[in-house]
Amino acid sequence: MPLFWDKVGIVARMSWIAMLFLLLAVEYRAIDKDRADFAEDEARRRQEENQKFADIGTSITTNVQKLLNTSDKQFRETTQQASRQFDVTMSRSEKIIGGIKETVNAATGGDGFCYAILIPPGYAGNAAMFSTVIPQGKYPLTNVNLLVTDDDMIVQSMDEVSKRGTPDTGEEFANTMQRAQEWLHIGDLPPHFTEQFSLGRAATVTGDRRMLTINFWANNGSWTEKFALRRVNGKWLRLVRVWRERLDKKKNAFVADVIFNQVDDGFPEDTNTKDPHGVSTSGGRK
């Protein structure tokens, strides 16, 4: 090579050097291009991989969201269906219970009751005396029985005891109650149908007043009536008041609720008419 290089002239040497630099430039350019192509391919590959991962993530998210939406929809549909089935079951149960209750009420009388009145001659233009029982409620009353107590007779006996200052003996008191009370049987009463019946020994009116306590028993329970008549200024006035007892859990005692109240205007009430069990002497009736 040195022998060859020594024989070459300056122009040739410059040509060889120029060619060498040209080859080096081409080589460097080729290397830069390879690097650029590699970097570009690597970037494209990473982008494709990132896109694939992103697509996979999006697909997973979409599928999970679809699954959640489907599960939520199925849960709502299942809950709504269960709620509808429960409502239908409850409606059927209520109808069954209502039907049973209606059957029991029809057989026993439900919350119905009745009251008795005594019509004296001259009351509302009536010419003769009679007594009648009036049912209240939508169901028939069955096996109706009553105990009629002549309060006027008991008040008269109490007045006599008060005057003489000594109480009745047990036998005398028993005789008074036996004369003042009478058991009566009415039987069954259809609803909204007034029925005449006899009040027995109590079906009399003398003087200007009459008061009775009537205890009723039927298949649907018991109740108490106060019936009173007063003649004021030549005109008969009437009071009908009915109580039904119930257990007051707060008071832990039985209380009497007024379930029917019919009082003519101007009727002079006293303590005996305001209490279902009230009976006092003539002097104590204020």
Report pLDDT digits (tens) over 121-149: 877 677 678 889 999 999 999 999 999 99
- Are 98 and 238 in the same domain? no
pLDDT tens for residues 66-89? 777 777 777 788 778 877 777 777
- Are 104 and 117 in the same domain? no
Are 113 and 242 in contact, with CB atoms under 8 Å apart?
yes
- Are 152 and 266 in the same domain? yes
Does residue 237 register a pLDDT over 70? yes
At residue 92 the predicted structure's pLDDT band, cuts being 50, 70 and 90, is confident
- Are 202 and 280 in the same domain? yes
- Are 159 and 175 in the same domain? yes
At residue 219 the predicted structure's pLDDT band, cuts being 50, 70 and 90, is very high
3-state secondary structure 200-254: HHHCCCCCCEEEEEEEEEECCEEEEEEEEEEEECCEEEEEEEEEEEEEECCCCEE
pLDDT tens for residues 161-196? 888 888 888 898 899 889 989 999 999 999 988 988
C-alpha distance from residue 185 to each of 135, 157, 199, 200, 208 (Å):
15, 27, 10, 11, 29
- Structural domain of 222: 113-284
Count of structural domains, the chain? 2
b/e sequence 216-236, b meaning 16+ C-beta within 10 Å: bebebbebbbbbbbbbeeeeb
CA distance 286 to 284: 6
Average pLDDT on 107-122 reads: 88
Mean pLDDT for the chain? 83
Among 123, 125, 241, 141, smallest CA distance to 195 is for 141
pLDDT at 5: 56
- Are 217 and 103 in the same domain? no
- Are 157 and 248 in the same domain? yes
Q: Which of 45, 77, 108 is the last residue of a domain?
A: 108
CA distance 100 to 90: 15
Q: Which of 47, 81, 108 is the last residue of a domain?
A: 108
At residue 257 the predicted structure's pLDDT band, cuts being 50, 70 and 90, is very high
Average pLDDT on 203-231 reads: 92
- Are 161 and 225 in the same domain? yes
Q: Which of 108, 133, 160 is the last residue of a domain?
A: 108
- Are 17 and 123 in the same domain? no
Does residue 284 register a pLDDT over 60? no
- Are 42 and 88 in the same domain? yes
Task: Please provide the DSSP assignment of 114-172 as one string.
Answer: EEEEEE-TTGGG--S-EEEEEEESSS-EEEEEEEEEEHHHHHHHHHHHHHHSSPPPHHH
- Are 134 and 227 in the same domain? yes
Q: Is the full-model pTM beyond 0.85?
A: no
